[in-house]
Amino acid sequence: MKTDAFALRHIGPRENDLQHMLNTIGAESIEQLIYETLPDDIRLKAPLNLEPALTEYEFLNHIQQLGNKNKVFKSYIGLGYHPAIVPAAIQRNVFENPGWYTAYTPYQAEIAQGRLEALLNYQTTVIELSGMEIANASLLDEGTAAAEAMALLFDVRTRDQKKNNVNKFFVSEEILPQTLSVLQTRSTPIGVELVVGNHEDFAFGADFFGAILQYPGKYGQVFDYAGFISKANTNEIKVAVAADILSLVKLTSPGEMGAAVVVGTTQRFGIPMGYGGPHAAFFATKEEYKRSMPGRIIGVTVDTNGNRALRMALQTREQHIKREKATSNICTAQVLLAVMAGMYAVYHGPKGLEYIADKVHASAVTTAEALNQLGVYQTNTAFFDTIVVKADAVKVKAIAERNEFNFYYIDNDTIAIAFNETTSISDINTILAIFAEAAGKETVTVTALATQINYPQGLNRTSTFLTHEVFNKHHSETALMRYIKKLERKDLALNHSMISLGSCTMKLNAAAEMLPLSMPNWNNIHPFAPIEQAAGYQTMLKKLEEQLNVVTGFAGTTLQPNSGAQGEYAGLMVIRAYHQSRGDHHRNIALIPASAHGTNPASAALAGMKIIVTKTTEEGNIDVEDLRAKAIEHKDNLSCLMVTYPSTHGVYEASIIEITKLIHENGGQVYMDGANMNAQVGLTNPATIGADVCHLNLHKTFAIPHGGGGPGVGPICVAEHLVPFLPTNPVIPTGGETAITAISAAPWGSALVCLISYGYITMLGAEGLTNATKYAILNANYIKARLSGHYDTLYSGEMGRAAHEMILECRPFKEKGIEVTDIAKRLMDYGFHAPTVSFPVAGTLMIEPTESENLEELDRFCDAMIAIRKEIEAATAEEKNNVLKNAPHTLAMLTTDTWDFPYTRQEAAFPLEYISDNKFWPSVRRVDDAYGDRNLICSCAPIEAYMEN
Ligand SMILES: *Cc1c(COP(=O)(O)O)cnc(C)c1O
């Protein structure tokens, strides 16, 4: 046996555990187990056609060599992406630290106080720089954030009688091109009409509900929008502003000008460009729109003892609850990147940020002046970091590329140069030399940065920001390192124990998959760099697309969507375009089973579809007769079925082929939600079950870490007939021949983290991938077997097997006064993160162990669940003072002098022996959600200004 095979590292159970596990399950072999689990008619007959697996060492060499094909030029392209200095302390302690990147979305607040605090810092930074009242904890990118702003303004317009039937949205022609494309995609299906124009000519017509401006404009001109916004507000037209976060350090904030929403990216706050992403987009608005705000909001509340605690606020706004009434489908966001950007603000503080912003501005001013001396004229009358010069673009481009510099070439004689944090005097002199050479002149040399200001006096920011202590005390590396560690210790991540989140597939994020993200020849490339400079990326992305085609059985893939929900939306838009290409403009009905994830109906609503919910049988399967009736009833207008496979009930429905056939017979397409792809890879695939398109959550099945709630990558894979409609990008074309407009801002979405999935597939190969699926099924069935007799499993396949996950029935415990939440909180005392709570069935737990967990860990988890079951047995509905209701137990509780609970301290915190060896202490007692929702505070509490020195 090859002991250096990556599969042996990725897959948890050891060969000599296998027999014991199979005995427990009651299966003769893995093959027999799989046979009893997966319907035979959908089983693949041949192994996946992939290249032989590489070892970790081989992969890292390969990725190093491929990286050398990327040419890392100095980037002055701008357009929303800038080189940034990732502080080494943040790179090492957050970005490269599994304590941060393997955490789950902070639904279990008591064991997530660290990242919740980091996100509160992020929100505070956004609120104060934008001048708004509330902010969320990140969106996917600036383009989609702008689209969310449009959707919010469209949604809230009905609060104003006069605007009820108004559908026009003004878009300044200064908007970034990729943002415009995303707005186009999002506007049409929901019935918004975009009107693009010059904001100075806008007539504030009564038929407009909103507008969006870019601040500074796409090529750097700084406009004073105060007059526009005030006039718009008088005319009840709400204004969103897409703003550059660094410029807000120096310029009057859009909030102070009266904006209703401010969006943008925090990429230049210490996040690598990564050929397009991932980066955290920000979204800030007014308190009055809090219920319409997309995404997750971190808020302050109290715990059982009245101590300050954080948690995700106002969750009833989210798509899980709103389903087809949702105006946003955002689920996975960009938490890890938001944490990093927030830490960047913590580390630099207001003075450090000001220093950086001043330096960037001074670099632009200095260069503009020196170019002027060369006779190269600059045309922006006011600017922060980007200048526009008149010169022969063809000549300049050739010389610039020889010097390894990229500018943005607007047309043949107009060039934009965007300055950034990394610009040095020497870089400025190179830029001058390039332009001098193009003009055939002697160059001029600068030795110091200019000090004058080149934006309007009236826009000089006068309001203070980041005065809270947290932004003013962690400025030495020791202080920052300890602050990051202090927060990390409050959070339970995969580096502590199994996180068995059903549907979310929290598997190993292997170090060898992660290492390439830190390599400079991968992370420092601008998404709009000339494509030939990104040869390494182009090869890697193409290979990944091909690998995903093989895995899904489909013909084409786009990597553009940067979350699963974004993929759903992309897939539905592709289906929409396909129907329209055949003249079927009326096909707009989406059939969605009741058990679907909330993002499914939300995405369908965004794609302008009418949602019809189909029934589920008692066995948890799609009710085929109900589906047939509805498909036939709506056959003239049927657009598609959205189906998750295996179902969210953890079962491979035997009738899937019949179901997909039925949809096709009635003129519809089949969209498969691929969140459960971990139960398919190598055994079956979406093409085989009859789907036309699916999304994959690369952050579930394909090993991208959850990052505490993002980043994600949600590519869609499509059958041949849908390939022409895959989305493009307005700057670097991608996609099919009759491509739809952009789904997200960057041509290949969050390209940097695609390296992880590429590594996962390349190192596992066909056999490793297939074994991963088999072991995921084995581990799930092992847990099912061990818990049987203690907990009922809600649904099973026809031969009694679970797929890769299972739902545990917890509703009967209500008789004992125990809710499923009590079990979730009690698991913390046992050192475990709860499985998925109340999805897809309220009052249940959905467990998915994944293939990465070993037998010892599965046993510890089962021991904990069984011990909790005994505690439930001992509970009574009358007595609320018990070990479950009081869970989780903190160290502070345990070490008080008086202990007046009706159980011992040991029963509270060390109920099983294994715990004392590796105790995890929740840092707060149970949080009070209702209190926090009544008193929404989503920034660091304002305190007296605390400044260093
Ligand atoms: C996770 C999940 C989604 C949404 O994916 P995101 O990446 O969070 O947007 C959709 N459907 C199912 C079944 C899921 O588990």
Burial of 62 (0-12, 13-18, 19+ CB in 10 A): middle
CA of 636 to the centre of ligand 1 (A): 30
Angle at 941 between CA 938 and CA 947, to 5 degrees: 130
Residue 943 has pLDDT above 60, yes or no: no
The two beta strands, 414-418 and 386-390, are antiparallel
CA of 45 to the centre of ligand 1 (A): 29
CA of 864 to the centre of ligand 1 (A): 28
The residue type found at 235 is: N
User: For residue 940, what pLDDT is reported?
Assistant: 84
CA of 321 to the centre of ligand 1 (A): 14
User: For residue 315, what pLDDT is reported?
Assistant: 86
Q: Which residue minimizes the CA distance to atom 6 of ligand 1?
A: 564
User: For residue 941, what pLDDT is reported?
Assistant: 63
Candidate of 597, 695, 706, 804 to mutate for ligand 1, largest count of ligand atoms within 8 Å of Cβ: 597
pLDDT per residue as tens digits for the range 872-892: 999 999 999 999 999 999 999
Candidate of 673, 698, 807, 837 to mutate for ligand 1, largest count of ligand atoms within 8 Å of Cβ: 673
Q: For residue 319, what is the enclosing H or E element?
A: helix 319-322
HSE of 215, CA atoms in CB hemisphere, 13 A = 34
Please list, residue by residue across 806-824, b when 16 or more beta carbons sit within 10 angstroms of its beta carbon and e when fewer do: bbbbbeebeebbbbbbbbb
Confidence of residue 580 (pLDDT cuts 50, 70, 90): very high
CA of 802 to the centre of ligand 1 (A): 20
Read out DSSP for 407-437? -EEEETTEEEEE--TT--HHHHHHHHHHHHH
CA of 675 to the centre of ligand 1 (A): 6
User: For residue 1, what pLDDT is reported?
Assistant: 66
Using the Cα atoms of residue 53, residue 55, residue 57 and residue 60 in order, give the sign of their dihedral: positive
Q: Which residue minimizes the CA distance to atom 2 of ligand 1?
A: 675
Residue 321 has pLDDT above 90, yes or no: no
Q: Which residue minimizes the CA distance to atom 11 of ligand 1?
A: 597
Q: Which residue minimizes the CA distance to atom 3 of ligand 1?
A: 564
pTM of the model as a whole = 0.97
Confidence of residue 224 (pLDDT cuts 50, 70, 90): very high
Domains of the chain, CATH where assigned? 98-296+324-345 (3.40.640.10), 349-459 (3.90.1150.10), 767-889 (3.90.1150.10)
Q: Taking residues 70-88, report their average pLDDT.
A: 98
CA of 564 to the centre of ligand 1 (A): 5
Q: Which residue minimizes the CA distance to atom 5 of ligand 1?
A: 564
Among 593, 623, 662, 520, residue whose Cα is nearest residue 840 = 593
Residue 929 has pLDDT above 90, yes or no: no
In the chain, what is the straight-line distance between the N-terminal and C-terminal CA atoms, in Å?
A: 63
User: For residue 946, what pLDDT is reported?
Assistant: 31
Which ligand 1 atom sits closest to the C-alpha of 648?
A: 13
User: For residue 732, what pLDDT is reported?
Assistant: 98
For the chain, the 3-state helix, strand and coil shares in percent, each to the nearest 5, are 45, 15, 45
Q: Which residue minimizes the CA distance to atom 7 of ligand 1?
A: 564
CA of 426 to the centre of ligand 1 (A): 47
pLDDT per residue as tens digits for the range 492-513: 999 999 999 999 999 999 999 9
Average pLDDT over the chain, rounded to an integer: 96
C-beta of residue 579 within 8 angstroms of C-beta of residue 639: yes
pLDDT per residue as tens digits for the range 459-487: 999 999 999 999 999 999 999 999 999 99
Confidence of residue 942 (pLDDT cuts 50, 70, 90): low
Q: What is the DSSP letter of 29?
A: -
Ligand 1 interacting residues, C-beta cut-off 6 A: 331-332, 503-504, 563-565, 597, 599, 644, 648, 673, 675, 697, 712, 714
CA of 665 to the centre of ligand 1 (A): 28
- Token pair for residue 313? 């606020």
- Give me the percent of the chain exceeding a pLDDT of 90: 94
pLDDT per residue as tens digits for the range 816-849: 999 999 999 999 999 999 999 999 999 999 999 9
User: For residue 870, what pLDDT is reported?
Assistant: 98
